[in-house]
Each structure stands twice: as C-alpha cells, then as structure tokens.
C-alpha cells in the first residue's frame, strides 16, 4: 500500500489548479449555451476533456486514478461545479465507451474532437419509465439494411441542449431483455434527432440538461458501439468510470469548502473570540474533514482497482455513496457554520444545491447499496 502521489501526479494537479483558477476563478454559472461551448473548448486546451483518451487523439492517456486526481483539482479550482460535472460526464459517460467500443473508423472520426472539446457529448440513457430500472428502456433501434432506425425519447441527458454527439441506448431485440439492448454513438446533426431546451433544475446550473427525441432517426451501422446486445455491458462499463472518477470533482469541492470554513472560523468573532475556539464549531469542522478523507480513500481505491482491471462493482458503489453523502453533509455543515451569510445566494447554499444531485445521478444511493448487497450475496 502506497498512499503517496508521484512527482508527476503532484505536478499535473498543481498545473490544473493554476490553469483552471486563471480561467474560471470567481466564475458564476452562465446558463448560456454559447458560453458553455466556449468553456468546453477552453477545457480542451487545458487537457480536461481528453484526460483518459489516447495520446494519438490529443488525449492525456491517463488511467482511472490519474483522471480522478485531475478532476479533483478541476473541482477544487473551479467554483462552477456544474461546468466541471459537464466536462466529466462528457469524458467518462460518452468518450470512454467510444474509446473502448467504437470501430477504428468511428474512433478516428470522433475521439480527436471529443478530446479537444470541439465536440460536446451527451449520455442519453434515462427515460420517463426507466431511471434506476435501466432494463425497462423503451427507445427502439430497428435494424435496417445499412443501419438502425431509432424511435423514442430520453428524458434526462446532461449536455443535451449543446450536444454534437449523443451516446445512447436502445432496444434492438425486445425478446432478449438486457441482452436485447444496444449502444450507439449518434451524431446530433442526423435527421430525426431533436435536442430539447435546458431543463430547470436544482443545482449544477453550469451543466445544461434536456430531453432528446428520436423520430425515425436513421443511424448508420458504423455508429453501433460493440456488438448488438452489448448495450447493458457497455453502459455498466461507462458507469464504472463515471461513478469512480467523476466524483473526484466533489472531493475538490469539499477541499475548497473545508478551507473556506477553517478560514471563516478563524476570522468570524462572536462573544469576543473567533468562533473556531468554540467546540461546537471546531468539532463540526473536524467531522467535515473526517468525511472528506474517508471518502477520498474509497474513491482512490475504486479507481486503483479499475486500473488493475479488477471488476469490483461494490468498491465503486461504496465510493460513490461515500463521496456523494459526504458532499451533502459537509455542505449542510458549511451553510450552518456561515449562518445567515451561508443562506445568501452563492457560496455555501450554491454548494449545497450542487451536491444534492450527486446522490441521484450515475445511479441513486439506493441502487449503489443494492449493488453492494448483491456483492455480499444478499
């Protein structure tokens, strides 16, 4: 067991902290599609949209742990957690399955644009009747002579309103259950695709999310990921990367939040002394630190296992639950520590809104605990 970071890892994280801070320090969520596209191109220049993509495509060729460390630095330096989430979802839920399952032709077509941020990708799995129950998806992909005809609607897709590429999942064989689902990397400019307007939502304002409708959308066969019937396997593969690595941005948020709370407890005075001298305050901050460090260890271990090609579903699930629940609890504590100031727009209240959805996306906390229970034989 080696808990130290290498010189290369430390230097990479320091560079990201500096460069992200230079571009987005004091950044407020824009909610402007053109601004978000420009932010993706900036993230591409900083190497963030291609962290774990092959070097030959302009990516960083990083493993899971190094990707998570880079995203942690991104999340710490960028106050717009929604933007960090948008970039991480683009990379892990979309670019990773293209990297690992697309044909060589399609990888050559798409990966360079995904790595540079010129192409923005949206992951479209969730439907009105299929959230946690991904086996119940209703979007269909009817095989034709030279491709597939997609029909149906996805209800919740991050980056959808600005997407150039949609990684989606559809039923190719209704009789085969999970083995009848297939995955596709669909260019968003194909006829028959409608990208919805941004959905109003709580938190993560810097990441637009919307519905996606397919109406007799003809998708050439080359955009099939893997083989027919591999959709469920490909989705679980991408979710392992997302659940393990994406939550690095929340470690970064908690790092920034904790430092702010320590500073505030030393500056804010009540009853003639800094509030940090009151045990009620100092112990609350100590609990924040404990949650953060415990979550960090579980996330690093989950990513390390991915790098060892260990298929440990429960390790990833434990990490996802620990980080998301720590992020919500710490944000509640940060708001309480700042009192009325924490309730004002921005700062602690914004961090709370950005952390609440972390217990929902990439599989709810309840689904993660179900995965852990199944691994235990229950």
Same domain, residue pair 260 and 358: yes
- CA 340 vs. chain centroid, Å, equals 31
The one-character DSSP state at 337 is: H
- CA 71 vs. chain centroid, Å, equals 10
Angstrom CA distances, 204 to 55, 153, 207, 252, 374, stand at: 30, 23, 6, 15, 31
Same domain, residue pair 367 and 251: yes
Same domain, residue pair 208 and 252: no
| Burial class of residue 22 in the structure, from the number of CB atoms within 10 Å of its CB (0-12 exposed, 13-18 middle, 19+ buried) | exposed
Same domain, residue pair 102 and 187: no
Does 1 map to a domain?
no
* Pairwise CA distance, residues 362 & 245, whole Å: 11
Does 22 map to a domain?
yes
Average pLDDT score, the chain: 96
Entry pTM: 0.96
| Percent of the chain residues topping a pLDDT of 70 | 99
- Residue 30's pLDDT band (cuts 50, 70, 90): low
Same domain, residue pair 116 and 135: no
* Pairwise CA distance, residues 156 & 123, whole Å: 9
Same domain, residue pair 126 and 105: no
Angstrom CA distances, 125 to 117, 156, 245, 255, stand at: 22, 8, 19, 31
| Closest C-alpha among 203, 118, 208, 134 to residue 168 | 134
Q: Which of 3-7, 89-93, 245-249, 260-264 has the lowest mean pLDDT?
A: 3-7
What's the average model confidence in pLDDT over 143-164? 96
What's the average model confidence in pLDDT over 206-211? 95
CATH of the domain at 154: 2.40.110.10
Domain containing residue 193 = 122-232
What's the average model confidence in pLDDT over 273-297? 98
Marked catalytic residue, from 227, 242, 350, 370: 242
Q: Is the dihedral of CA 274, 349, 320, 47 positive or negative?
A: negative
Token digits of residue 278: 């009151």
- Residue 335's pLDDT band (cuts 50, 70, 90): very high
DSSP 265-306: HHH-EETTEEGGGSHHHHHHHHHHHHHHHHHHHHHHHHHHHH
* Pairwise CA distance, residues 226 & 183, whole Å: 7
Does 200 map to a domain?
yes
Does 207 map to a domain?
yes
Count of alpha carbons within 13 angstroms of residue 258, beta-carbon side:
24
Does 331 map to a domain?
yes
The per-residue pLDDT for 178 is: 84
| Closest C-alpha among 46, 143, 58, 135 to residue 99 | 58
pLDDT greater than 90 at residue 196? yes
Q: Name the domain boundary from 205, 232, 259.
A: 232
Is residue 242 part of the annotated active site? The answer reads yes
Q: Name the domain boundary from 232, 263, 278.
A: 232
- Cα–Cα–Cα angle for 255, 261, 265, rounded to 5 degrees: 150
| Burial class of residue 290 in the structure, from the number of CB atoms within 10 Å of its CB (0-12 exposed, 13-18 middle, 19+ buried) | exposed
More confident residue, 145 or 322: 322
Instruction: Please write the tens of the pLDDT for every residue from 133-153.
Output: 888 999 999 999 899 999 999
What's the average model confidence in pLDDT over 84-110? 98
Name the domain count of the chain. 3
- Residue 359's pLDDT band (cuts 50, 70, 90): very high
Does 2 map to a domain?
no
The per-residue pLDDT for 206 is: 92
Q: Name the domain boundary from 120, 140, 167.
A: 120
Check if the beta carbon of residue 222 is closer than 8 Å to that of residue 46.
no
Same domain, residue pair 371 and 263: yes
Relative to beta strand 165-171, strand 121-124 is parallel
Angstrom CA distances, 362 to 126, 238, 293, 324, 329, stand at: 10, 10, 22, 11, 19
* Pairwise CA distance, residues 358 & 325, whole Å: 8
Same domain, residue pair 188 and 287: no
Same domain, residue pair 296 and 326: yes
Does 237 map to a domain?
no
Does 333 map to a domain?
yes
The per-residue pLDDT for 375 is: 94
Instruction: Please write the tens of the pLDDT for every residue from 48-84.
Output: 999 999 999 999 999 999 999 999 999 999 999 999 9
What's the average model confidence in pLDDT over 276-299? 98
Q: Is the dihedral of CA 75, 78, 80, 83 positive or negative?
A: negative
The per-residue pLDDT for 135 is: 85
Same domain, residue pair 116 and 126: no
Same domain, residue pair 86 and 198: no
- Residue 25's pLDDT band (cuts 50, 70, 90): confident
Same domain, residue pair 46 and 73: yes
Instruction: Please write the tens of the pLDDT for every residue from 35-44.
Output: 899 999 999 9
């Amino acid at each position: 067991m080696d808990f130290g970071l290498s010189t290369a890892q430390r230097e990479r994280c320091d560079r990201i902290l500096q460069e992200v801070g230079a571009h987005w320090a004091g950044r407020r969520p824009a909610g402007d599609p053109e601004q978000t596209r420009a932010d993706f191109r900036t993230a591409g220049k900083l190497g963030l949209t291609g962290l774990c993509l092959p070097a030959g495509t302009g990516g960083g060729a990083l493993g899971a742990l190094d990707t998570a460390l880079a995203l942690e630095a991104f999340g710490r330096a960028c106050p717009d957690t929604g933007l960090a989430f948008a970039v991480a979802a683009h990379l892990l839920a979309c670019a990773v399955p293209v990297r690992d399952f697309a044909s060589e032709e399609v990888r050559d077509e798409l990966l360079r644009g995904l790595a540079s941020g010129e192409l923005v990708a949206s992951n479209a799995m969730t439907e009105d009747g299929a959230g946690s129950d991904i086996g119940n998806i209703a979007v269909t992909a009817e095989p034709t002579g030279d491709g597939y005809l997609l029909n149906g609607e996805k209800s919740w897709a991050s980056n959808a309103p600005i997407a150039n590429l949609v990684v989606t999942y559809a039923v190719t064989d209704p009789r085969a259950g999970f083995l009848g689902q297939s995955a596709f990397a669909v260019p968003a400019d194909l006829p028959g695709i409608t990208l919805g307007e941004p959905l109003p939502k709580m938190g993560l304002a810097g990441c637009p999310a919307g519905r996606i409708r397919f109406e007799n959308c003809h998708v050439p066969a080359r955009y099939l990921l893997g083989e027919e019937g591999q959709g469920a396997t490909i989705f679980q593969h991408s979710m392992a990367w997302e659940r393990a690595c994406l939550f690095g941005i929340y470690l970064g948020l908690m790092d920034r939040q904790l430092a702010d709370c320590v500073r505030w407890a030393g500056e804010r005075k009540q009853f003639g002394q800094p509030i940090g001298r009151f045990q009620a305050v100092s112990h609350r901050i100590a609990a924040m630190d404990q949650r953060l460090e415990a979550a960090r260890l579980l996330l690093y271990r989950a990513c390390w296992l991915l790098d060892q090609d260990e298929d440990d579903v429960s390790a990833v699930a434990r990490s996802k639950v620990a980080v998301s629940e720590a992020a919500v609890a710490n944000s509640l504590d940060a708001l309480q520590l700042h009192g009325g100031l924490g309730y004002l727009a921005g700062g602690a209240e914004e961090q709370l809104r950005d952390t609440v959805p972390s217990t929902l996306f990439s599989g709810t906390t309840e689904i993660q605990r179900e995965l852990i229970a199944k691994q235990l034989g229950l």
